[in-house]
Structure 1
Amino acid sequence: MATTKQREAAKKNVKKAQSAARDQHTLQNLSKRTRTALGKEANAVRRGDAPTRRELEQKARELGIKGRSKMGKDELKHAVAGAQRGS
């Protein structure tokens, strides 16, 4: 689980990203389905239901997954899940 400090940092980062996206109108160029998925993922992290990328990377390090620093969050999720199933 994420600590309070990590959750606060994640909230701050999400707000910064949202602000930048508003300024650049980035979200307008995404499909409604993608925007919805991004919102649901952000809310899950805020609630503590979903792990942060940092938490996933730490777990990948513990499991000895190679190439983790170059992976995105979804790739890390799948790699960690696969490694845990294989253990």
Structure 2
Amino acid sequence: MTRKQTEAARRNVQKAQKAARAKKTLTKLPKQTRRDLGHQAAMTRQRGGQPGHRLEDRTRRDLYEVAKAKHIDGRSKMGKSDLIAAIRNAG
């Protein structure tokens, strides 16, 4: 591949990634999901941004760090609920 082709391919990938991110807006999520996300954010603000004791009270990033410490495979591709289940199964 030439340099010009490589740069064109990189631009195409970036354009596709941007389009994918644009589709994942909050307004396109189901009403129930938006309500749950709002509730979760309110609870986090109430705790002053600190994670709670329950796994459900923690952010996905916090759960990812717990999963990392427990050496759970596939954690980077897991969502919050998947991480919670994997952490509980790992003991």
TM-score norm. by structure 2 comes to 0.52
> What's the C-alpha RMSD, in Å, of the aligned pairs?
2.4
- Separation (CA, whole Å) in 2 of partners of 1:52 and 1:62: 16
**Matches of 1:62 and 1:82, distance apart in 2:** 14
User: Radius of gyration: which is bigger?
Assistant: 2
Which residue in the other structure is 1:66 paired with? 73
The alpha carbon displacement at 1:34 in A equals 2.1
- 1:43 and 1:56 map into 2 onto residues whose CA distance is 18
Secondary structure, counterpart of 1:44 in structure 2: helix
Q: Which has the higher helix share?
A: 1
The 1-side partners of 2:90 and 2:70 are apart by 7
What one-letter code is carried by the residue in structure 2 that aligns with 1:34? T
Give the TM-score normalised by the residue count of structure 1.
0.54
Paired-residue identity, % = 46
Code of the aligned partner of 1:64: H
Which structure has more relative contact order (CA 8 Å, sep 6+)? It is 1
Render the CA deviation track for 1:53-87: whole Å, top value 9, x for unaligned: 22111111111110011111221111112212xxx
Post-superposition Cα deviations, 1:3-43, rounded to whole Å, max 9, x if no partner, equal: xxxxxxxxxxxxxxxxxx9xx9x444444322211111222
**What is the match of residue 45 of structure 1?**
44
Number of residues paired by the alignment?
Answer: 61
Judged with a 3 Å threshold, the aligned counterparts in structure 2 of structure 1 residues 35 and 62 are, in CA distance, closer, same or farther, namely same
Structure 1: 5+ residue stretches without partners: 1-20
Structure 2 residues without counterparts, runs of 5 or longer:
1-21
